[in-house]
């Protein structure tokens, strides 16, 4: 049954502002998701203005057909299916919000479906190359000690780039060997610190004060700092990881490759899929299951190499 709008708001800008305030304060979306959604909303906004004229098309008049016309436009622009799916998710979230707030009588985005995408096999780095990467940072410099801790933490815990960059002193529990991580949607989870990650992090914490002395900032809580004593940015972390992985691997150099390798090597070692899901902070098991394909391929390779009746041609 359709609802009657409690208020008539035709100002798109006002609705966008309310929507983003909702995402930021109530849904606690990350800054990067908000930026991506901002780009998507702006593109949709410009399309409506050029195609229909915003004065002639207030939110209450946007129909499912209008949205399909927009998606058809995106396909003609040769956007990747994954990019279009993100824009669909943004539209569904936006119009769902308007409907729940009684700004529109029906949700035109309710029947939109994501495009089928081909699942990509995650890139991984073999363990020998990862071990080699760990030896590359200069152990006699503060920056090198910091970089080694970053590498060990990525591979030893499987946390995301955003999660590592947001780590603060209060999140580390050396006594129990745990770190508290704030994941997507500000969901918190505890992740165990392995022996090597713990040792590298402790070594860095012993010299972190040397970086702090180079800044006038007070009470810096971020664990990883740049050479000026300020919190190390996401891009800064990414560049450091890429620097070392580029020297040992051609299979991928981003921090996410270490996360993929963490999950794959756990499953190769016999870890339970549900346990890996919790460690990675996935909300849906299907997201974790992509790593089983990698492990299955590894099993097939072992079989082909070892079994006398396997087809090795």
List pLDDT tens digits, range 176-226.
Answer: 999 999 887 778 899 999 899 999 999 999 999 999 999 888 889 999 999
Looking at the structure, do residues 186 and 254 belong to the same domain, yes or no?
yes
What is the pTM for the complete model shown? 0.68
Q: Which residue segment(s) compose the domain that 197 sits in?
A: 127-306
Residues 6 or more apart whose CB falls under 8 angstroms from that of 160 comprise: 183, 255, 256, 259, 281
Looking at the structure, do residues 224 and 294 belong to the same domain, yes or no?
yes
Looking at the structure, do residues 300 and 179 belong to the same domain, yes or no?
yes
Q: How many CB atoms lie within 10 A of CB 227?
A: 13
Q: Are 151 and 137 a contacting pair, CB within 8 Å?
A: yes
Q: What share of the chain is helix, strand, coil (3-state, %, to 5)?
A: 55, 5, 40
Cα(125)–Cα(51) distance, rounded to whole angstroms? 47
Catalytic positions, please? 160, 184, 256, 259, 282, 291
List pLDDT tens digits, range 80-132.
Answer: 888 999 999 999 999 999 999 998 999 999 888 888 876 677 888 999 999 99
DSSP, collapsed to helix, strand or coil, labels residue 290 as helix
For the chain, how many structural domains are there in total?
2
């Amino acid at each position: 049954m359709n609802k009657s709008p409690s208020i008539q708001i035709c100002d798109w800008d006002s609705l966008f502002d309310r929507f983003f305030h909702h995402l930021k304060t109530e849904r606690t979306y990350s800054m990067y998701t908000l930026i991506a959604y901002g780009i998507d909303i702006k593109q949709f906004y410009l399309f409506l203005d050029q195609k229909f004229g915003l004065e002639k098309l207030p939110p209450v008049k946007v129909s499912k057909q209008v949205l399909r016309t927009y998606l058809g436009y995106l396909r003609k622009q040769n956007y990747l299916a994954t990019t279009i799916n993100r824009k669909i998710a943004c539209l569904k979230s936006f119009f769902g919000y308007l409907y729940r707030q009684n700004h529109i009588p029906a949700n035109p985005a309710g029947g939109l479906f994501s495009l089928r995408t081909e699942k990509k096999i995650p890139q991984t780095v073999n363990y020998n190359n990862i071990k080699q990467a760990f030896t590359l940072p200069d152990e006699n410099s503060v920056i090198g000690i910091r970089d080694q801790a970053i590498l060990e933490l990525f591979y030893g815990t499987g946390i995301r780039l955003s999660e590592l960059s947001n780590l603060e002193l209060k999140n580390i529990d050396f006594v129990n060997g745990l770190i508290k991580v704030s994941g997507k949607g500000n969901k918190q989870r505890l992740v165990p610190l392995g022996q090597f990650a713990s040792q590298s992090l402790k070594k860095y914490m012993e010299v972190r004060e040397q970086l702090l002395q180079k800044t006038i900032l007070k009470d810096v809580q971020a664990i990883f700092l740049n050479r000026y004593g300020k919190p190390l940015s996401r891009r800064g972390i990414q560049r450091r990881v890429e620097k070392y992985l580029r020297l040992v691997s051609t299979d991928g150099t981003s921090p996410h490759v270490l996360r993929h390798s963490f999950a794959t090597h756990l499953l190769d070692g016999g870890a339970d899929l549900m346990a890996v899901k919790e460690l990675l902070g996935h909300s849906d098991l299907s997201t974790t299951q992509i790593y089983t394909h990698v492990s299955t391929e590894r099993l097939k390779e072992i079989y082909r190499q070892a079994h006398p009746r396997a087809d090795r041609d």
